[in-house]
Amino acid sequence: MKTLQELIMDLPPELQSEVRDFVEFLLAKRAQGTSPNPSLSWWGGAQALREQFSSVDLQHQANEWRIQSALGGNDVSRRQ
């Protein structure tokens, strides 16, 4: 069985670059960690948005922000 390094070396350079990017993403994600006791300080904070957006709209927007963050994007503003 080949080692991980050997498998990566068998890939073409462009895929090796993708592997590097993915590993860096995983390391950054791990370094951020998660809070052992989540805070509920946000509770009720989105009530002003209730008339403007549905809960589904907000879920979709939050998902887009997560994807952008994972891909290294920094624009987390709502698309209009």
In the chain, the largest separation of any two C-alpha atoms, in whole Å, equals: 58
pLDDT digits (tens, 9 = 90+) for 22-76: 999 998 888 777 666 767 777 777 777 777 888 788 888 888 888 888 887 655 5
Q: For residue 19, is pLDDT > 70? A: yes
DSSP secondary structure letter of residue 54: -
pTM of the model: 0.41
Q: Label residue 61 exposed, middle or buried (CB < 10 Å: 0-12, 13-18, 19+).
A: middle
Residue 38: its H or E element: none
Tokens (6 digits) for 2: 């080949």
* Amino acid of residue 79: R
d(CA 71, CA 68): 5
Three-class SS state of 26: helix
Q: What's the pLDDT at 34?
A: 65
